[in-house]
């Protein structure tokens, strides 16, 4: 098969939302921000990466949040992350799957849906 893995996920955000993105992705989710390449930096947005995890936020002048389509992140210490999110007044929606607590859903500051899945490994 010629496709070997996912390189990154790009989510949309409104113009001027970089600080809110940093507060959520770097601050709450603790995914470090990396500098965008100089050729792309003028477009706005922000990139967050840690090892193979790469989340890029790009500015969309006609922004609409992705409320159904979403990335799912494996999380070590999901209960701790959920507590940190709730302490920051982020709404956490429990999944109604047979294994309660195994996954939750949150929205980033722009309304994009994210799934957080407990990493048992």
Per-residue pLDDT band for 88 (boundaries 50, 70, 90) equals very high
Share of the chain above pLDDT 90, in %: 85
Question: In which band, very low, low, confident or very high, does the pLDDT at 98 lie, cut at 50, 70 and 90?
Answer: low
| Helices and strands, number each (H, E), in the chain | 3, 8
Domain boundaries, the chain: 9-118
CATH of segment(s) 9-118: 3.10.180.10
CB 117 within 8 A of CB 77: no
- The H or E element that residue 34 is part of is strand 33-34
Structural contact between residues 46 and 57, judged by C-beta atoms closer than 8 angstroms: yes
- List Cα–Cα distances, 29 to 32, 43, 59, 96, in angstroms: 9, 24, 20, 23
Whether residue 22 has pLDDT greater than 90: yes
């Amino acid at each position: 098969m010629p496709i070997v893995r996912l390189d990154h996920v790009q989510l949309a955000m409104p113009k001027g939302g970089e600080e809110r993105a940093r507060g959520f992705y770097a601050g709450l989710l603790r995914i470090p921000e990396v500098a965008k390449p100089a050729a792309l930096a003028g477009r706005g947005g922000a990139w967050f990466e840690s090892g193979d995890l790469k989340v890029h936020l790009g500015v969309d002048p006609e922004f609409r949040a992705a409320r159904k389509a979403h990335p799912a992140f494996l999380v070590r210490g999901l209960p701790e992350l959920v507590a940190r999110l709730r302490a920051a007044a982020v709404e956490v929606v429990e999944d109604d799957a047979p294994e309660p607590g195994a996954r939750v859903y949150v929205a980033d500051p722009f309304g994009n849906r994210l799934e957080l899945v407990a990493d048992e490994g």
